[in-house]
Structure 1
Amino acid sequence: MVETYQHGLPLLAAGQAQKHVTVNEALARIDAVAQLRVVSDAQAVPPAGALDGQAYVVPEGASGAWAGKAGLVALFANGGWVFLGPRAGWRAWNEAAGAAMVHDGAGWIEGALDAGAGGAATLHRVLEVDHALGQGTSVSVPGAIPSGALVIGVTGRVLAALGGAATSWRLGVPGSDDRYGSGLGKGAGSHASGLTGAPVAYYGDTDLVLSGEGGGLDGGVVRLAVHLLALRPPRAG
């Protein structure tokens, strides 16, 4: 069957019978790739209850109907799996990871802002964590900033009001406990938007530190988000 160059859409042949089958398959592929959204890129076994239109990036070592299809987009259409070969520059939203991916011609790269021909990429990531505070003058969120991160800033939102005698709180890291904000509100809905004058590089996993101002903290929940860049080196081959 003749297919289009970019998306592999099946074309009608002259005098073809059951034209609706070919047309419907083409429409299903267009629906999938026009704004590509995949359920996951880590599921190795084809789901038994897949819905028409759902798509997955097939990981290495996949089994069943996906065996030998690593890196392809598996689209469930008309009761079976159709496989699409992505090209360099394709973008997709990964529902499971909550992140965008870009294809560099050899594989999918999560969070890539740009990618070189050899696989090097600049990655943008937002890492979120909901942290329930205990009692104390300061509270640490272990390893919230990963090694190798170039942090643009840290933001936060109070999900459940903070207790304790503190009148406000500050947000930072060990040795600089107000790097990402001070005088922050304790009430539910209060937020932090912490920027530094220049991005800060972290060469090891680093805790975030929440400290009470004017007293201690006791209870409450804060959602924190680390906004960072990371570097991916070129592929070996």
Structure 2
Amino acid sequence: MSPALVLPLALALAAPALAAQDVDKVNGSITVEAGQEAGDLSTVNGSIKIGAGARTGKAETVNGSISVAENVTAGGLETVNGSIRVSGKGKLSSGLETVNGGIFVDRGGDVRGDIETVNGAIGLVDTDLSGGITTVNGDVTVGVDSHVKGGIHYTKPSQSWFSFNQRDPKVIIGPNAVVDGPLVFERKVELYVHSSAKTGPITGASAVRFDGATPPGQ
């Protein structure tokens, strides 16, 4: 190799890779295209969409939903008024949180944190959750082959939260699902546990066992 090329090549190899750029808005949606990289994503009034195979930092919005396509690697996802949906094989290095919005993680999901909501439903299918699930009024389905390592906790609703949901929440632990740690219910729920599922100790509710694909009456 020519000596004139040695120094530029050495400098290029030693230079650190450029950090992925953050995206910060107040009004407007954010889209990360398939296969792209980005830093943290933040908006106030707008949705966030992350395309298939993309890599990002955490994503946060106030009034908007967060949609994650297949095979995405991202940080935590958080919204106040909006849903969170993670498609297959999503890998999230932190937890998921909403106030008024559902959370769904599809097959192959790997969430390294907790899932928290106040009024939204939570659904997992073949998903590993390293933390636990905390909610007040939302239904919870720990679906087929899912593993929740941190237990489930329903906190007692204050009087102001009762208006959001007049019926008792339904909690379903599906076929071959595992919930390590305690299941603690500070309010009345309907709890259904599949005969093939495994759970930690249950406090505040009585489990109804079922054998089919869905609980009785579903």
TM-score category (smaller protein): under 0.3
Q: TM-score, normalised by structure 2?
A: 0.27
Larger strand share, 1 or 2: 1
The TM-score with structure 1 as length reference comes to: 0.26
| Higher relative contact order structure (alpha carbons within 8 Å, sequence separation ≥ 6) | 1
Structure possessing the higher radius of gyration over alpha carbons: 1
